[in-house]
Chain A
Amino acid sequence: MSENLFSPIDSKPKIPVGQIVLGSVLIVIGLGWLLSALDIASIPWRALLAAVLIVIGIALAAAASRGVDADGLISAGTTLVVVLALLSTAAAAFSVPLAGGVGEREYNPTTTGLREEYRLIAGELDIDLSGVDFPERETRLEASVMFGKLVIDGIPAGVAVSVESSVAAGEMIVFGSVWDGVSLDEQTTDANYNQAARRLFIDASVGFGQIEVRR
């Protein structure tokens, strides 16, 4: 008889903690990506990924302290730390928010639908302001693309404009003036901006790519 009759019976079922956590994380990230792609929500990716890292840490510490094997969580957590560190470094280096989706986005806002911020991580972001009836005060608009192209046009006549534009590397074309190179940072302001009743302040930034602002 080759079996050991006194072998301890392993009565504890193995809980695949690693698979449960990683599967849940993939679902959350996938849903966030989908919502962002459908333009339903603007996902703050760095905050979301940081929250995911905290969840992985809690699951790993809890599972390990109970002697439950949490395969893959250390690798997943380490990968996430590296990704977050690179994102943080990129955000600090280029001063461009890492928010928004990926792809081509076109916005034609009306007066009530004009947002304060428009963000895209990668792709082309077009904002046509021709449908906006700007009020008699200063309206602020922030727009950014980390990788790609940002176009703002259709600014109505009678609205004085001040544009603060910055590009880490690429090209800026603001009302016909062209700059290209690295670490570009320019302010273009209409001469009558401070006296005008209706004013539009645009803060436009691109990491790598092009900004174009035109009437």
Chain B
Amino acid sequence: MRAQQRRAVVSGVLFIALGIMFLLEALDVYELAPATLWPLLLVALGIGVLSGIGGDEDDQSPLT
């Protein structure tokens, strides 16, 4: 999987997880304190950044 593709998949999964978290909070299932929220977002950002690291293994075309 290319780095760009991997980053997109990981970002998508993170958006789903964060969206569920925000949705449950908006529906008053639980309260999300800012002191918890912002560190979680930093962790998510870090995961997203790390997911884009690495060469594009599939970039070598046999015809070039």
Which residues of A are interface residues toward B (Cβ below 8 A)?
A: 6-8, 44, 46-47, 49-65, 67, 70, 73-74, 77-78, 80-81, 84-85, 88-89, 92-93
Contact = CB atoms under 8 A, between A and B. Distances in A.
Chain A interface helix/strand/loop/mixed: helix
A97 to B, nearest CB: 10
A8 B63 contact: yes
Given A50-B26, A88-B37, A57 B8 contact: no
A48 B19 CA distance: 10
B8 A60 contact: yes
A64 B5 contact: yes
A60 B11 contact: yes
Interface of B: 5-9, 11-20, 22-23, 25-27, 31-34, 37-38, 41, 44, 63
Contact of B41 (A63, A70, A81): A81
Given A8-B63, A67-B5, A89-B34, A57 B13 contact: yes
Contacts of A93: 34
Nearest to A57: B15
Contacts of B14: 57
